[in-house]
Amino acid sequence: MPAKTLFADQIALVTGAASGIGRALAWALARRGAEVVLADLHAEAAEAVAAAIRQAGGRAQAHALDVRDTAAVAAFVAGIAADKGRLDYLFNNAGIAVLGEWRDFAASDWQRILAVNLDGVMAGTAAAYAVMLRQGSGHIVNTASLAGLVPSPGLVAYAASKHAVVGLSTSLRAEAAQYGIRVSVVCPGFIDTPLFDSPALGLPPNNRFKARAQRIALAPEACAERVLAGVARNRAVIPVTDHAWLAWGLVRWAPGLVHALARWVARQLHRERTDAGR
């Protein structure tokens, strides 16, 4: 493990830590000297990551956690804080997606996405905030998405959940500052994670949208490095990837162009859906 840094000897809890951005964050934090608690629905996969971190000389432990269970999240976070004596960082990272036109979505798809992406973030944030209020310190880092900043056809439910996470995080940041608590929201563009394996309603499994996104996707390890750089600077919003920065800038300075591009993407998705149904 390299020399210790700002995160050295800090207690950091990462949800969705068995794969993708969560796994990369756990490794990046451990390399910086943090003691990492990995939480994931897939306990065996999370433990495999924690074991590899320990073998490399880091400090890590893994636990099973379903972020949809608000009571379980509250008890888990409180238990970690009690066991470790504090909680310095919470990375709310668990998330799911479904790709397809809104016309193909069922109410169950909506409810499942919001249960993980929004209710799960709310549960973790509320539990960590209670601990950090008592401490008078701490940093909550919620993973949203570029889809939480710009219109995202084909990802309507996902985008709704991520816009809500952005609003939750930036609003709580204003409240939390007076108590010594920091809140940041991460808005990655396309990252090469298992999210690309999400269901695609009305579209072929290897659809053109997914293929184009994967061509420009950033590696999770590079994403984690950029996230921690933004956290170290206490940035309110942390876009990740060049295309995320570009899109975030355009939606503020050229919103008409962004909406025109979104309509073009929507037409492409509809065309592919139509072709798949023939």
Catalytic residues: 158
Cβ(126)–Cβ(224) below 8 Å: no
- Whole-number Å distance between alpha carbons of 42 and 157: 24
- CA angle at 27 for the pair 23 and 31, rounded to the nearest 5°: 170
Q: How many residues does the chain have?
A: 278
Supply the DSSP symbol for 219. P
- CA angle at 79 for the pair 130 and 221, rounded to the nearest 5°: 85
Q: Residue 208's CB: how many other CB atoms inside 10 A?
A: 14
- Whole-number Å distance between alpha carbons of 106 and 110: 7
Burial track 46-74 (b if 16+ CB lie within 10 A, e otherwise): bbebbeebeeeebbbbbbebbbbebeebb
Closest of 33, 24, 37, 36 to residue 223, by C-alpha: 24
Query: What would the two tokens of residue 93 be?
Result: 């990272």
